[in-house]
C-alpha cells in the first residue's frame, strides 16, 4: 500500500506541474482574487486596455435558480478556459448559490451548461444566531478550481466538500465531511493538493480558525484545524478566506475578542500558520487592540493581500478600524508582535462605527509595466480628516472609495512603505477591486450596510466601474445594466470579460464592443 500511495502522490505532483505550465497559457480565474495570495490581479490578461475598456457593454445576463439566504445569494464567480465539453471547448463561469447549488455557464453566451443541487443530510442547530443573517444556514464559500484534476471544489451547507468535473458537474472527488454542518465558511483556497477555508462567528457550533483537507488521497482525506479562540471570537470573515503566501504560510485577519497568546486566544490580530501542518508561527496585534474589540472594529472584516517587493515578502491589511498596516510577511509585527513596517493614519471611520465604515472586503495588488507596485484599498464611508493627502483626487466620495498606494522604499530606513497615489470618486459601497493590464474594476454594490431590520430597504442597483489603475480616472460605468444590489461577492476577469453577480441571482458578463 505504501508503494501505491507513493505512486499516487507522484502522479498528483506531475499533474500539478502540468497545470502550472497550462496556467501560464490559460487566462483562468480559478479562485477568489485570482490566486492564492488574493492579489485580484489577472496576470494573464493582455486584451483589455485603458483605451478599449471605454467601449464596454453588457454581453449577457443569466438568471439562475437560487434562493437568497438573508443577504447572501451567489458566490463570487470563478472561470476555467478551454474546458473540453461534449459540444467542444468552452470557457466556463462557475457560481455557487446560497441555497446549496452550483452552476456552470458558457462564458461566450451565458447559457447554462450544467447545474447541481446538493442535498443536506442533517438539520441546522439551534445556536443563538443560527438561522439569522449572522448564521444564515446557506452555502457561503466561493469555490476553487483545480485545473490539474479538472475539478471544481465546492463546500456545501452541510459541511461536505464536493469535487465536481468541470465539464459535466458530476462527482470526481467523493463528497466527504470537511467542516461542521451549517458553519460559516469563506472562500476556498487550493495549494499543493490541499483545500483551505476559514470559519467565523461560531455558526454550527464550529470554532473559528483555519481548516484544511488534504485531497491527494481521496480514500484517506486528512483534515487539519488551527483554532484561534475557545469562544465565538477570532473569526476570519474576510471575503477571501485564508490567504496563502509563497513563503509557505497562511494568513488571516481575526475578529473581535480576547488577545491572550499564552492561552491560545488571537482575536483582533493578524495570524500566520505554517503549511501544510497549520501550526501557528506568527501574529501581529495593533497596540490599540482593546479599543478595536470594545468598539467592534473587526480587523476580520477584510482579507489581506500577500505580495513581494524588493527582497521582502509583504502582507497588507486592515479592517473597520480604517488603519492600513504594511507588514513583513515573515515577521508580521517584529519581536514584540506589535510593530509592523508601516501604519497609515486613520483613513476613514472617524466616528469609529462598527457598521458601514472603514476597510471592508479584500485588498488588491498590481505591478505595472514600469515595475511600480500598487496596493488598492476599498473604503466604506467618507475619508477621515486625518487621512493623508492623495496627489490625485477624482472627486468627492461621501459613501465610499478606492484608495491607491504606491509601494516604495523609505529613504531613511530602507524598508518598504506606502505612498498615497490617488483616491477614486464615490462608490456606494465598494466591493473588492480587481486589475487587468492597467485597468481596475470594482462594483459599487448598492447595498444598505446599516444593521437593522430595514436593511433590505434603501438599496440601489449595483454598478460596475472601470478606472485607470495608475490615476483613478473613470473609464467606464455600467449605468443601469444591473438591476439590484449585491452583498459580499466579487468579480472575475477572463478572456477580456468581467463577470459579476447580484442579490437576485443574476450573473452578468461585460466586455468590449
Structure letter (DSSP) for residue 505 = S
CA pair distance 439, 433, nearest whole angstrom: 10
The answer to whether the peptide bond before residue 364 is cis (omega within 30 degrees of 0) is no
Three-state secondary structure call for residue 308: strand
pLDDT attached to residue 450:
86
Question: Using 50, 70 and 90 to split pLDDT, how confident is the model at 109?
Answer: very high
In terms of Cα–Cα distance, which of 437, 427, 456, 431 is closest to 495?
437
In terms of Cα–Cα distance, which of 405, 408, 404 is closest to 416?
408
pLDDT at residue 4 above 80?
Answer: no
User: Which cell goes with 483?
Assistant: 438591476
Alpha carbon 458 to its chain centroid, in Å, reads 26
Q: What is the DSSP string of 228-288?
A: --SSS------TT-SEE-TTSEEEEE--SS-EEGGGTEE-SSEEEEETTT--EEEEE--TT
Partners of 135 in beta bridges: 130
CA pair distance 272, 61, nearest whole angstrom: 40
Three-state secondary structure call for residue 20: helix
End-to-end Cα distance, the chain: 57
pLDDT attached to residue 127:
79
- Report domain extents, the chain: 2-512
Mean pLDDT over 462-471 rounds to 98
pLDDT at residue 20 above 60?
Answer: no
Question: Using 50, 70 and 90 to split pLDDT, how confident is the model at 139?
Answer: very high
pLDDT attached to residue 90:
97
- Region label for 445, one of left (φ > 0), alpha (ψ between -120 and 50) or beta (otherwise): alpha
pLDDT at residue 19 above 80?
Answer: no
- Residue 398: count other Cβ atoms within 10 Å of its Cβ: 10
Mean pLDDT over 288-303 rounds to 92
Interval 393-412: pLDDT, tens: 999 999 999 999 999 999 99
Structure letter (DSSP) for residue 293 = H
Mean pLDDT over 149-168 rounds to 97
Among 279-283, 337-341, 453-457, which is the least confidently predicted range? Answer: 453-457
Look over the chain and give the mean of its residue pLDDT values, rounded to a whole number: 93
303: phi then psi, degrees, rounded to nearest 5: -95, 135
| Selected residue with higher pLDDT from 24 and 168 | 168
pLDDT attached to residue 26:
62
pLDDT attached to residue 16:
45
Question: Using 50, 70 and 90 to split pLDDT, how confident is the model at 453?
Answer: low
pLDDT at residue 392 above 90?
Answer: yes
* CB neighbour burial string for 306-323, b if at least 16 within 10 angstroms, e if fewer: bbbbeebbbbbbbbbbbb
Superfamily of structural domain 2-512: Quinoprotein alcohol dehydrogenase-like superfamily (2.140.10.10)
pLDDT attached to residue 456:
86
Q: What is the CA radius of gyration of the chain?
A: 21
CA pair distance 39, 19, nearest whole angstrom: 20
| Selected residue with higher pLDDT from 7 and 44 | 44
pLDDT attached to residue 8:
43
CA distances from 202 to 5, 134, 242 (A): 36, 10, 17
| Selected residue with higher pLDDT from 178 and 351 | 178
In terms of Cα–Cα distance, which of 244, 269, 245 is closest to 256?
269
Instruction: Tell how many helices (H) and how many strands (E) occur in the chain.
Output: 2, 39
| Selected residue with higher pLDDT from 184 and 450 | 184
CA pair distance 130, 414, nearest whole angstrom: 50
pLDDT at residue 18 above 60?
Answer: no
Residue 379's H or E segment, with its range, is strand 373-380
pLDDT attached to residue 233:
84
In terms of Cα–Cα distance, which of 23, 33, 28, 32 is closest to 434?
33
pTM of the shown model: 0.94
pLDDT attached to residue 462:
98
Mean pLDDT over 83-109 rounds to 97
pLDDT attached to residue 217:
85
Judge whether 238 and 245 are in contact, CB under 8 Å.
Answer: no
The answer to whether the peptide bond before residue 107 is cis (omega within 30 degrees of 0) is no
Alpha carbon 389 to its chain centroid, in Å, reads 28
Judge whether 424 and 393 are in contact, CB under 8 Å.
Answer: no
Interval 314-358: pLDDT, tens: 999 999 999 999 999 999 999 999 999 999 999 999 989 999 899
Amino acid at each position: 500500500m505504501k508503494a501505491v500511495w507513493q505512486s499516487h502522490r507522484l502522479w498528483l505532483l506531475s499533474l500539478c506541474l502540468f497545470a502550472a505550465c497550462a496556467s501560464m497559457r490559460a487566462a483562468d480565474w480559478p479562485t477568489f482574487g485570482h490566486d492564492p495570495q488574493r492579489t485580484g490581479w489577472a496576470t494573464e490578461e493582455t486584451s483589455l486596455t485603458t483605451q478599449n475598456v471605454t467601449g464596454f457593454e453588457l454581453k449577457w445576463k443569466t438568471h439562475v435558480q437560487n434562493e437568497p439566504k438573508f443577504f447572501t445569494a451567489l458566490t463570487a464567480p470563478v472561470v476555467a478556459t478551454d474546458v473540453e465539453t461534449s459540444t467542444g471547448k468552452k470557457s466556463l463561469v462557475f457560481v455557487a448559490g446560497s441555497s446549496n447549488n452550483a452552476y456552470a455557464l458558457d462564458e461566450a453566451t451565458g447559457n447554462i451548461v450544467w447545474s447541481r443541487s446538493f442535498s443536506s443530510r442533517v438539520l441546522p442547530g439551534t445556536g443563538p444566531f443560527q438561522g439569522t443573517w449572522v448564521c444564515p444556514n446557506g452555502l457561503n464559500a466561493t469555490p476553487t478550481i483545480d485545473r490539474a484534476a479538472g475539478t471544481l471544489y465546492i463546500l456545501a451547507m452541510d459541511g461536505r466538500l464536493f469535487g465536481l468535473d468541470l465539464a459535466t458537474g458530476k462527482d470526481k472527488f467523493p463528497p466527504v465531511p470537511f467542516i461542521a454542518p451549517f458553519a460559516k465558511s469563506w472562500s476556498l483556497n487550493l495549494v499543493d493538493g490541499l483545500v483551505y477555508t476559514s470559519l467565523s462567528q461560531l455558526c454550527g457550533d464550529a470554532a473559528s480558525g483555519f481548516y484544511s483537507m488534504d485531497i491527494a488521497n481521496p480514500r484517506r482525506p486528512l483534515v487539519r484545524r488551527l483554532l484561534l479562540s475557545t469562544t465565538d471570537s477570532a473569526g476570519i470573515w474576510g471575503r477571501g478566506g485564508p490567504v496563502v503566501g509563497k513563503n509557505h504560510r497562511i494568513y488571516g485577519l481575526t475578529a473581535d475578542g480576547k488577545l491572550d497568546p499564552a492561552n491560545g486566544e488571537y482575536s483582533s490580530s493578524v495570524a500566520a500558520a505554517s503549511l501544510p501542518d497549520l501550526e501557528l508561527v506568527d501574529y501581529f496585534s495593533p497596540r490599540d487592540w482593546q479599543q478595536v474589540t470594545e468598539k467592534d472594529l473587526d480587523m476580520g472584516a477584510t482579507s489581506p493581500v500577500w505580495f513581494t517587493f524588493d527582497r521582502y515578502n509583504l502582507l497588507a491589511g486592515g479592517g473597520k478600524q480604517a488603519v492600513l498596516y504594511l507588514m513583513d510577511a515573515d515577521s508580521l509585527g517584529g519581536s514584540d508582535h506589535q510593530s509592523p513596517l508601516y501604519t497609515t493614519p486613520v483613513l476613514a471611520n472617524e466616528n469609529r462605527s462598527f457598521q458601514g465604515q472603514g476597510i471592508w472586503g479584500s485588498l488588491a495588488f498590481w505591478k505595472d509595466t514600469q515595475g511600480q507596485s500598487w496596493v488598492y484599498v476599498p473604503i466604506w464611508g467618507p475619508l477621515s480628516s486625518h487621512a493623508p493627502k492623495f496627489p490625485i483626487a477624482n472627486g468627492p466620495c461621501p459613501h465610499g472609495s478606492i484608495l491607491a498606494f504606491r509601494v516604495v522604499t523609505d529613504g531613511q530606513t530602507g524598508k518598504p512603505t506606502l505612498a498615497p497615489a490617488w483616491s477614486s470618486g464615490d462608490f456606494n459601497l465598494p466591493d473588492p477591486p480587481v486589475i487587468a493590464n492597467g485597468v481596475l474594476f470594482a462594483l459599487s454594490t448598492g447595498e444598505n450596510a446599516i444593521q437593522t431590520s430595514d436593511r433590505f430597504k434603501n438599496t440601489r442597483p449595483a454598478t460596475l466601474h472601470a478606472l485607470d489603475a495608475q490615476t483613478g480616472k473613470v473609464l467606464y460605468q455600467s449605468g443601469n445594466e444591473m438591476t439590484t444590489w449585491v452583498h459580499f461577492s466579487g468579480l472575475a476577469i477572463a478572456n477580456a470579460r468581467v463577470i459579476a453577480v447580484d442579490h437576485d441571482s443574476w450573473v452578468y458578463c461585460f466586455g468590449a464592443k
